[in-house]
A and B are shown apart, each in its own frame.
Chain A
Amino acid sequence: MNRLNSKVLEEIVHKNADNTSRIVEQTHGYVVSENNGALVATSFDNTTAQAIVKHVHDNFLKMAQSAIRDLDPTDKLCFMRVATRKFEFLVAPDDPFTITVLL
């Protein structure tokens, strides 16, 4: 089941190759991960990508989602932008996977 899922995701990533090349040109890079923390695709090296997934997704994104639902149970987080001095994280959580782009 997990292998099937990751194959499906890889297909989706391939289909959107135009989009991803456009993203890579204009930004520092992207990371696509499954909601259990597994990496699907990235334009960074593996260690950086894993670090981003671990810190942004696993710790922070879940906390942000639960905070939003705490404020209003019918609401849900669609998009998150974390701006820092050097760059900006654009995080789009979705059902099968989450995309993080470093602007």
Chain B
Amino acid sequence: MSAEIEDIIKRFQNYPNVVGIIIVDLFAIPIKTTMDYNLTVHYATLVSNLLSKASKMVHSLDMTNELTSLRLRTSKHEVVIVPEENFFIIVVQNPSE
């Protein structure tokens, strides 16, 4: 699993617009991060809450459907959140415009 994670981080770090990458496990504990610690923990807790709410919402609208990703575009950057089997990937990037 850690090889997979390293792979993911390498893949995303090469993009010029990426501000930071955080890998969080299912208990909202950051496993790997490229940002500073306090910000990482902040992101990790907020995003795990949001993700659990989002998947509940998707289920409640349609039982057979499942959340695959979540993108939050704010005025300063874009946060892309992808839930995987054992962890979540959070990527913060500058929007490309």
| Number of CB contacts from chain A to chain B under 8 A | 78
Q: In the complex, A36→B65 CA distance in Å?
A: 27
Q: Are A59 and B53 in contact (CB under 8 A)?
A: yes
Closest to A78 in B: B73
With A59-B53, A63-B49, A71-B43 as known contacts, state yes or no: A86 contacts B72, CB within 8 Å: no
Q: Is the interface of A mostly helix, strand, loop or mixed?
A: mixed
Interface flags for A3-31 (1: CB within 8 Å of B; 0: not) read: 00000000000000000000000000000
A1 at the interface (CB under 8 A from B): no
Q: In the complex, A80→B80 CA distance in Å?
A: 10
The tally of residues in A whose CB lies under 8 Å from a CB in B reads: 27
Q: In the complex, A80→B71 CA distance in Å?
A: 6
How many Å from the CB of A69 to the closest CB on chain B? 9
Chain B residues closer than 8 Å to A86, beta-carbon distance: 62, 64-65
B residues within 8 Å of A by Cβ? 42-43, 46-47, 49-50, 53-54, 57-58, 60-62, 64-76
